[in-house]
Amino acid sequence: MTYEVELRSLIEKTSIEVSDEQVSQLSKYVELLNKWNKAYNLTSVRDPKDMLVKHILDSLVVGEHLQGDRFIDVGTGPGLPGIPLAILFPEREFVLLDSLGKRITFLRQVVFQLKLKNVTPVQMRVEKYPIEQPFDGVLSRAFASLQDMINWCSHLIDEKGCFYALKGQYPTEEIELLPENIKVTNSYPLTVPTLDGERHLIELKKTQ
């Protein structure tokens, strides 16, 4: 089954601009995720129509706030938000990092079938990831807390780069507990069509 019509109607409720080819790629990604999920248990979201909202739209709405060309999606799971964002921005590079082999096996299949030239899946724990040059942005919607994200991912960016944390409710208590050398530079309330509940993108930077 293809989900292009449904996905297109959801995207039209936002300001996101996508081509027919991108809608097709996103739809194929959901098909693959649904198929592999039955055996690999990649996401607790079982219904592909729910995946369109909770995974695809939830990832795409972050796109307009990203700055830079090179990003790493830490604890990417089945490729969220990395795969939808890589489809949205073919000119940008995305490293998708996860420690579980079955997730990386799935992501390699996604990259192959969707012919994504700007995605590199890597199986590794984040603290072991070797850095040659800092990334422009660290993306994550997997970390339990902002503190964990900072602690585990600090080596991935320098003062120019950003941490982008996808959250539900605004994490007031977590922000109060941040170390002195980390500041919140922006907070964006996100609107995801037909999704109940709050969504926020928290942007953090290292101070000099």
Q: What is the pTM of this model?
A: 0.96
Q: Which amino acid is at 41?
A: N
- For the stretch 122-140, pLDDT in tens is 999 999 999 999 999 999 9
Instruction: Measure the CA–CA gap between 51 and 122, rounded to whole angstroms.
Output: 23
Give the pLDDT band (50/70/90) at residue 208: confident
DSSP 70-92: EEEEET-TTTTTHHHHHHH-TTS
Indicate the average pLDDT of the chain: 96
| Binding-site residue positions for S-adenosyl-L-methionine | 75, 80, 126-127, 141
Closest CA to 108 of 11, 22, 40, 38: 40
In the prediction, which pLDDT does 1 show?
62
| Binding-site residue positions | 75, 80, 126-127, 141
Residue 208 contacts residue 159 (beta carbons within 8 Å): yes
Residue 10 contacts residue 57 (beta carbons within 8 Å): yes
